[in-house]
A and B are shown apart, each in its own frame.
Chain A
């Protein structure tokens, strides 16, 4: 209803453009001369990340370099966006291991369910966010690449310390 549009009556008859402009120039001058700038010089100076930031995945490994994954199949099941591909296999001792373990980091929503559900604390999210690749294929991390990640792993929520203090 156009009749209900609020019309603001500005006191134009008394308003001064020059005075308002001079005031604005003063404000901008103050900011121009202020040496403290807000820009973060990103590649030189990085964010301090909280321990619970959920970023790039990382696979925990045994001392001999094998992945800790036992191919139980919980993480592909719990994953809400189906970004984990797991093909299990058994070795000569009858132990299960992941023959193929791939995470599509492009599709991942970094919910952290895979880390929470993992019974052997093998797959983790990491405190790390700088991912960039030249092709989409490179975003699919295979097991070897997940094991090679070196950034700190994400801390899980601790019920006894709910605010992480």
Chain B
């Protein structure tokens, strides 16, 4: 069976676009309910439970309310940009989904349909390019509102997203080294068949790239403006930041944009590090479509459904972890955020690229074929690096502020020499 061609390809793509984005928006809507449910459970409450079974239709009630509500436009707002910002906020999160493969290819009468909206040969580059567009909605919304809180929120958002964009992009380089391709379906099939010969070992890149997946996950949190990186919103200081002046459906669009970004980032973590739509311990789903149209494996319709289920389950798990983190960790202070981004994550990820490149080079120079041993060696290297990162570097590094070092040292020095008032040195 060959992939669909010509007119059938166009029709299949249109159907995929419509279905995928409808489902994505529905999932995003349900995620808002899940967020509230998980938040409630963490706080020993029940959460929304009045609309529909277990409150699952709450999003419909919220949406209806937001459509009916009055739209306000602040006097100082710049009208065209004020209207444009919510659209820009919702766009990147949703179109990122285009290059994410969500199931194994589906055989139809007209040929094999790949379960990905657009199998771009530049997959990861597209993800990084579109992902960084997310900053425009935040910055523009904040600036166009004509409000100081919104402006501050927008500026913080811009600074934060640009800072963590660097780490996000760099943390994918070891992945590209390992997979040898930037096409996203190729990364998935690389994880399914991490071997040179016929026997198949599914090696999710979470294991050989443990530290990389951690760094990607943390920068993903920062990219989606979720706690502990929700400085652009910061209810307490900025009265919800860049969307302070927005009301009704425009506000709702910012929220949908944020949740779409969360779902898409969770899908990215799934695809890059959790094997995408791979079902563990089963070789039957190792279906690979090469870029020249050759199909390896045996695609059937029920495998498509099963793998879609596996992908959804993994993505949902990552989304719940996102929510779980949000309702646990407190927000970073702004200087801590910048410190963590530029003085910790960037160095860590740069060093990680060098070490991983060296390790991969060393393994291949030693003549070890791609396979389980290869993965175990990389896992060992990663466990050592994770120990260094989480135990040694973490000691006091992450929670310390930018101005802290000098002041703290001065104060401690004063204590050591027995000064009458150590506080005199601290400028208080």
A residues apposed to B, CB below 8 Å: 2-3, 5, 7, 9, 12-19, 21, 24-25, 27-29, 31-34, 36-39, 41
Contact = CB atoms under 8 A, between A and B. Distances in A.
A29 B42 CA distance: 7
Contacts of B400: 12
Task: Report the 5 A-B pairs with minimum CB-CB distance, sorted nearest first.
Answer: A17-B398, A39-B46, A28-B328, A13-B396, A32-B41
B395 interface: yes
Interface residues of B, number: 30
Pick the most buried of B41, B324, B328: most chain A CB atoms within 10 A of its CB: B328
A28 B45 contact: no
A157 B328 CA distance: 48
A39 B411 CA distance: 48
Contact of A31 (B44, B396, B398, B404): B44
B43 interface: yes
Contacts of A36: 44
A37 B423 contact: no
Contacts of A12: 396, 399-400, 404, 408
B378 interface: no
A127 to B, nearest CB: 27
B408 A16 contact: no
A14 B46 contact: no
A38 B43 CA distance: 9
A25 B227 CA distance: 13
Contact of B428 (A5, A14, A15, A27): A5
Given A7-B423, A18-B390, A28-B324, A34 B395 contact: no
B426 interface: yes
B38 interface: yes
B251 interface: no
Contacts of B391: 16, 18
Contact of A7 (B49, B397, B399, B426): B426
27 contacts: A3-B423, A3-B428, A7-B428, A12-B396, A12-B408, A13-B395, A15-B395, A16-B396, A17-B399, A18-B390, A18-B394, A21-B328, A21-B329, A24-B329, A28-B327, A31-B42, A31-B44, A32-B41, A32-B42, A32-B324, A33-B41, A36-B44, A37-B41, A37-B44, A37-B46, A41-B46, A41-B49
